[in-house]
Chain A
Amino acid sequence: MKFLIIAKKEIIDITRDRRTLFMMIAFPLLLMPVMIGSMLKITSSQAKKASLKELKVAFIGQQFAPNLYNAFSSLDKLIILDQIPIDSVQSYIQSEYLDAAININPDYQSNINNNSQAKINIYYKGTDSFGTAKERIQMVFDQFEKNIIKLRMNKLDLKPDVVNAYNIEFNDVASKQERFGKLAGGWLPYVFILFGFMGAMYPALDLGAGEKERGTLETILSSPASRLDIVLGKFIIIMSAAFLTAFLALGGILIGIQQISEIPSDLLILINEIFTIKTIALIMTLVLPVSAFFSAALLGLSIYAKSFKEAQSIVAPLNIVIIFPAVIGTLPGIELNAITSLIPILNVSLASKDIIAGVMNPVYMTEVYLSLFGFAALSLYWCVRSFNKESTIFRN
């Protein structure tokens, strides 16, 4: 039971470390919601700004389509410039003096009258993030086109159904929860997997390499505690930190979402319906073994390092290794199957997606748990072996 003594001491030690506490509690619980909220707020304010922006549009050939010219001239937040020569248009748009340009061909009216297609060139800059200019110009042309078609059909005495042979109605049988789960469900595990890893990282570095650096490793190695006791005592605390951080990150996001006014109320209701205590508890059963996997692996690497600094440089690139499968889990089309359910981290991401969507396959879920607990056990076994290896523990 000496591992409990070690665990007790490690709790006191890490909870007195402000950096660890910040990474473990404050960062996921406070900073995450603030970050998400700010991101949403900035995006929506930018979109609003773009929609209110006064656009400068060059209109070339107004004499060929006076109706169109008048329609554009009467639009709000649109300044029509009719003296711009066609060969300057592209460079003006490029330099953002103009937002767009419309060029009407001289044969516009004759084509319209002859039931032919009138050629219109529109110049714009595709890098405009919200596509405001293109969208607003398109709206005017769509309306005009509809009217022209209507007139032409009346003239020919045709019903609108002539050009709409099918009346297709798409009926989506997926529930709102399922759609939300499949679309957005992948991002949530990405966040708590990453936070779980970060939550384990600082304590693992401190309780492994930090112990070597302080010279305290020899103190505990020469105590009656066995190597297994030492590993277990440290592992339990690192795993708890990882689990707690992941849990707080999940909680932080859910609490944060409630505070963000930009989220539509029907989506908020749906989110609250999905994230019941049962769903969160189910997700946390995936987080537990993955936290164990991270913790044992990080502790093993940390005890291998000669110093805290070396441990940091060994562990830092692992962030990318963790992010990669977590990001794959967010991609559309990647589903839980017999193979993906065995790949650690990716399986947590995909299984969480299914839990959120409310569609769980019991066979795959069993595979996920077996894989996760299996990898956690392997990682712990490797960590214990590292502690027993003289060349690792006294590498310096």
Chain B
Amino acid sequence: MIDVKNLIKDFTLNKKQRKEMGDKYKDTKILRAVDDISFECQPSRIFGLLGPNGAGKTTTLRMIATMLKPTSGSIKVAGFDSVINGQDVRSQIGFMTGQTALYDRLTPTEMAKYIADLHGMDNAKFNKRKEHLFNILDMNSFADRRIARLSTGMKQKTSIVRTIIHDPQVMVFDEPTSGLDVMTSRAIVDLIRACKEEGKTVIFSTHRMGEVNQLCDDIAIIYNGKLFYNNSLDQFKSEMTKPTFEEEFIYRVGEE
């Protein structure tokens, strides 16, 4: 489970960045990327973090994955505090973005082994898990081929394996389907569903409303770093005053 309480993240802007961002940041050096956000993600449920580009989704997910430190507030992942027990948090999560994030000169087997080793998996456990994943994803034919020589689909499968090789309890997906074609997006959507079925806690960020309807149990809408809505998807649907998700989203954000 993920428990986020009163999360704030400030970034200090340098002169160049202030200039690029216009008059709004003329007199302040601080950019508040995440502004007092609280939410909970439960096991066996998919939590969708929705918002347009620059809303603060990636910053929030990076804080959950301990890559960034919160300015204030707290995050607990599977009971571990993200600041005090960063390493424990990282051992519980699988992190995936829209990029395949693979090493071209390694093979899928070596890639999986590298991540498994970093997670302290012993060889027997790794081999069993690898065999299982390579079988269900039909990867055995290219298991020992260099990643640079693989097709996009093969790379995506390898990326899935490196994310879940250590069987994490918490899955963090940062816009995992952005820039992917329909077929490869499908593989990711299937992975997210499978994670839910296995009882994992899943949080994923997106700005594609179609995916939200298809996958999410709970949603949070953030815009300009602020939390606008947080409840179950069913509740959101029952409260909708506009015919589509997109329209409802724009309406709610515009209302504030």
Question: A394 to B120, alpha carbons, bound, how many Å?
Answer: 26
Question: A223 to B121, alpha carbons, bound, how many Å?
Answer: 12
Indicate if B30 sits at the interface (CB-CB under 8 A). Answer: no
The answer to whether residues A9 and B101 also contact, given A219-B95, A221-B67, A224-B120 and a CB cut-off of 8 A, is no
Which of A10-18, A60-68, A97-105 is the interface stretch?
Answer: A10-18
Given A215-B101, A218-B62, 5 more pairs with CB closer than 8 A: A13-B106, A214-B99, A214-B104, A219-B162, A393-B67
Contacts of A167 in B (CB 8 A): none
B67 near A219: Cβ-Cβ < 8 Å: no
Question: A224 to B87, alpha carbons, bound, how many Å?
Answer: 5
Contacts of A391 in B (CB 8 A): 11-12
Contacts of A214 in B (CB 8 A): 99, 101-104
| Chain A residues with a Cβ under 8 A of chain B | 2, 5-6, 9, 12-13, 16-17, 214-216, 218-226, 390-391, 393-394
A215 near B87: Cβ-Cβ < 8 Å: no
The answer to whether residues A223 and B101 also contact, given A390-B68, A394-B68 and a CB cut-off of 8 A, is no
Interface centre among A16, A224, A226 (most CB of B within 10 A): A224
Closest 9 CB pairs of A and B: A215-B99, A222-B95, A16-B105, A215-B101, A223-B118, A222-B65, A5-B117, A224-B91, A221-B67
A219 near B105: Cβ-Cβ < 8 Å: no
Question: A390 to B90, alpha carbons, bound, how many Å?
Answer: 17
Nearest Cβ distance between residue A393 and chain B, in whole angstroms? 8
Question: A178 to B233, alpha carbons, bound, how many Å?
Answer: 84
Question: A394 to B58, alpha carbons, bound, how many Å?
Answer: 11
A206: nearest chain-B partner, CB-CB: B105
Question: A219 to B66, alpha carbons, bound, how many Å?
Answer: 12
Question: A13 to B102, alpha carbons, bound, how many Å?
Answer: 12
Please tell me the number of chain B residues within 8 Å of chain A, measured between CB atoms: 33
A222 near B105: Cβ-Cβ < 8 Å: no
Nearest Cβ distance between residue B93 and chain A, in whole angstroms? 6
Question: A219 to B118, alpha carbons, bound, how many Å?
Answer: 11
The answer to whether residues A219 and B115 also contact, given A9-B106, A13-B103, A16-B105 and a CB cut-off of 8 A, is yes
Contacts of B101 in A (CB 8 A): 214-216, 218-219
Nearest Cβ distance between residue A230 and chain B, in whole angstroms? 10
Contacts of A16 in B (CB 8 A): 105, 146
A216 near B102: Cβ-Cβ < 8 Å: yes
A230: nearest chain-B partner, CB-CB: B118
Question: A326 to B240, alpha carbons, bound, how many Å?
Answer: 72
The answer to whether residues A224 and B103 also contact, given A9-B114, A219-B162 and a CB cut-off of 8 A, is no
Chain B, range 141-173, C-beta contacts under 8 Å to A: 146, 162, 172
Question: A9 to B172, alpha carbons, bound, how many Å?
Answer: 24
Chain B, range 107-158, C-beta contacts under 8 Å to A: 110, 114-115, 117-120, 146
The answer to whether residues A222 and B93 also contact, given A12-B105, A17-B105, A216-B102 and a CB cut-off of 8 A, is yes
Contacts of A222 in B (CB 8 A): 65-67, 90, 93, 95, 172
Interface centre among B11, B90, B110, B114 (most CB of A within 10 A): B114
Question: A223 to B114, alpha carbons, bound, how many Å?
Answer: 10
Contacts of B12 in A (CB 8 A): 391
Question: A222 to B146, alpha carbons, bound, how many Å?
Answer: 24
Indicate if B97 sits at the interface (CB-CB under 8 A). Answer: yes
Nearest Cβ distance between residue A22 and chain B, in whole angstroms? 15
